[in-house]
Amino acid sequence: MNNQPNEIAAVGATTAQAIAAAAGSQLITLDPAAYVAEVFKPYNDIFAILKAEADTITPDASTTAGMEICIKYRAAFRDDVRVAGEKARVERKAPILTIGKLLDSKYADLKNAVIPYEAKFDAAIKAEEKRKDDLKKAEAEREEKTRQRIINIRELPLATVGKSAAAIAEMIAVLETDLPDESFGKLQDAAVTARADVLVKLAGVHAAAVASEEEAARIAAERAELAQLREAAAERQRLALEEAERVAAAQKAEANRLAALAAEQEAAALREREAAAAQLKAEADAQAEKNRLAQAEIDRQLAELAAARQADANRAAVEQARVAAEAQAAADRQAAADQAERDRVAAEQQAAAVAEQGRLADLADVAAAATPAVCQPVRLEVRETAPVGQPTLRLGQIGERLGFALTAEFLASLGFGHAATDRAAKLYHESSFPSMCAALTRHISAVQAKHAA
């Protein structure tokens, strides 16, 4: 069936005739409420009469007459109203239930017969509707793709971010050759406009990229020049550092040489002191041996005199004892004088050695201090420069470094008066500390030599 207008009209006429024929058939139509009221009307009438009578009676089954009245009215309400009404309900409802079942079964037969034909025409309608929907969707997808192509054209300037001027020029060349054609459909004009706008924007971006690359090249050249200047400065700094290290190494070598010379001189002085002490000990041992031999000779002579002069033993013994005592006293005095001379000579030598050691230590300390010493080929000469800068070294800090407390008066006695005061604190120059240590060393050596003598 092609669904032509004349065919549709014919179908409509046939359907109208069928509906008219169905309306002409004699069907009994009941009002359900009226029908039910008419069925139960006789029993409602009987109930109304019995109710009116029962409302005037007070049931009393304790008497025979009262029992008969109760039985009579109970049977009337039960049999004439309730049971009879139930019988009428069952009789009237049975055909209605049968009609309902027949209506359901006949409608089911009619429905099953109609559904295949209804589905045949419904399928054709839904197929056409689906075809139209598919066409609409395809057209919408095509338009969406076309809009996306235009969006892609308009977003070309965003794709130039981070690209070189050459790459942007290539994008411009490609876009100039890509003219919007009929594939854009009704959006062709919009595509042409978008392409023209984007070409203008790309030209501006290209000019900016060229300027940016030229500026980047200029900055790169400046950075390269700056890097060369930095490398030259670093090389000069390296050479200056090497020179400073060479000078420091030379100064350290000179200080080590002076320290080695001082150690060698101290060792020589020690060897001389040890030799002198050994010599004095040898002389003392020799003198003791002489005294022993003299005493032995005296003892021998006394023994011989005792043997020879037995007679005057007592007198000779007394005389001999006197002479021996005087000789022993003389020997003791001579030994004491010799020992005192030896101690004096040893003390002088030790004091001279300690003084020489302190002088050499002072030279080494000054050579290693911040103020350099001028070294001559033959003799060493130390020139102390005048303190410069603000005095910041406190008296307490000097004591902490040395490990014992000092007074300002004691330092002044060594020739180091305080340069300034900060409230109660005495301040000295930091550059004077090495000279203070050298003066303390000399003072300690002098005290040691004095008390050793």
Q: What is the pLDDT of residues 94-137, one digit of tens each?
A: 999 999 999 999 999 999 989 999 998 999 999 999 999 999 99
Sole residue written with tokens 């980047």: 216
- CA distances for 341 relative to 160, 328, 396, angstroms: 108, 20, 45
Extended strands (E) in 69-117: none
pLDDT reading at 356 higher than 70: no
- Asked whether 156 and 200 are in contact (CB, 8 A), the reply is no
- 303 backbone dihedrals φ, ψ, rounded to 5°: -65, -40
pLDDT reading at 321 higher than 80: no
Whole-prediction pTM: 0.31
More confident residue, 343 or 236: 236
Confidence of residue 374 (pLDDT cuts 50, 70, 90): very low
- CA distances for 210 relative to 199, 214, 221, angstroms: 16, 6, 17
> Ranked by mean pLDDT, which of 35-39, 159-163, 186-190 comes out on top?
35-39
pLDDT reading at 350 higher than 90: no
Confidence of residue 318 (pLDDT cuts 50, 70, 90): confident
pLDDT at 359: 64
Confidence of residue 284 (pLDDT cuts 50, 70, 90): confident
Average pLDDT score over residue span 23-34 = 72
Confidence of residue 162 (pLDDT cuts 50, 70, 90): confident
Tokens at 270, concatenated: 């020690």
pLDDT at 379: 37
- CA distances for 23 relative to 26, 38, 109, 200, angstroms: 8, 27, 21, 79
pLDDT at 280: 83
- 421 backbone dihedrals φ, ψ, rounded to 5°: -135, 145
Q: Which of 283, 268, 293 has the alpha carbon at shortest distance from 335?
A: 283
The whole-angstrom separation of Cα 246 and Cα 254 is 12
- Asked whether 88 and 43 are in contact (CB, 8 A), the reply is yes
- Asked whether 408 and 418 are in contact (CB, 8 A), the reply is yes
47 CA to centre of own chain: 100
Average pLDDT score over residue span 350-377 = 53
pLDDT at 394: 93
pLDDT at 376: 37
